[in-house]
Homo-oligomer: A and B are copies of this chain.
Amino acid sequence: MLAGMKSPMSYCTDATWVGRSDCQHCDIRGTMLFSELQERELGDLLRPVDNLRLAAKSSLYHEGEVGDAVFTVRKGLVRLVHYAPNGTRRIVRLLKSGSVIGMEVLVNTHYHHCAEAVSDTDLCRIPVEVITQLEGRNPALHTALMRRWQNSLDDADMVITQLSTGSSHARVARFLLLVAIDPHRTECHHLMREDIAALLGLTVETVSRVFAEFKRNGWLVEGADCPRINPQALERVATD
């Protein structure tokens, strides 16, 4: 970023370092991990928090890799992937902006999945030691951490109950409703068919066919930017 300021990116292959984080003026401060903390506490300890950019399809870390940092998604979309020995690829869950990734290293030594960017993604890299230090003096962080863990758990349960259950039509409909961006659920994130299939436990062809059908019915329009949906219609399909 600045001349003479060396990027400390030895720890991460694909991401590019774009500076130190200014957590106090983060544009999504209200939803971030440290949102409960006071201004001055932030200023003191968040110096070693890096700001990263991860290009679509590049990976942040791999399953089984040793790690000493958690990440928060500032912008974009990240997928957690599990590759089975037989080659099966299953997306475990998607992380939207505000989500925390890799919390397992707070408890374990290694990451449990492969984290890959679906779209171009901005992240904060928070070293584990920053969290453990802050944790010692600030009880509010415990609550924040617990909340994040519960969020991940809720996401996982959603994948089980909504995205791995029922007909292909129901799953795709639920998927589209879940990856909605705005509160009215009219525009959604864009994912490749292959990713959708890996998330829903279906094949690319089946997903493609269901998408085609939804489009024929006018429930879905795939423009240049992002897919737009009719949430009411899809809600009906989702419940059967």
Q: How far is the CA of A239 from the CA of B86 in the complex (A)?
A: 6
Is A157 close to B, CB under 8 A?
Answer: yes
Closest CB of chain B to A230's CB: distance in Å? 20
Residues of B within 8 A of A150 (CB): 103-104, 106-108, 149
Residues of B within 8 A of A112 (CB): 154, 157
Residues of B within 8 A of A159 (CB): 160
Is A166 close to B, CB under 8 A?
Answer: yes
Cβ contacts A139-155/B at 8 Å (1 or 0 each): 10011011101101110
Q: How far is the CA of A107 from the CA of B149 in the complex (A)?
A: 10
Is A82 close to B, CB under 8 A?
Answer: yes
Q: How far is the CA of A142 from the CA of B108 in the complex (A)?
A: 14
Which of B93, B107, B145, B201 contacts A165 (CB under 8 A)? B201
Please tell me if the beta carbons of A153 and B152 are within 8 angstroms of each other in the complex.
Answer: yes
Is A92 close to B, CB under 8 A?
Answer: yes
The 8 closest A-B pairs by CB, nearest first: A156-B156, A149-B149, A164-B164, A82-B161, A107-B150, A107-B147, A107-B146, A90-B161
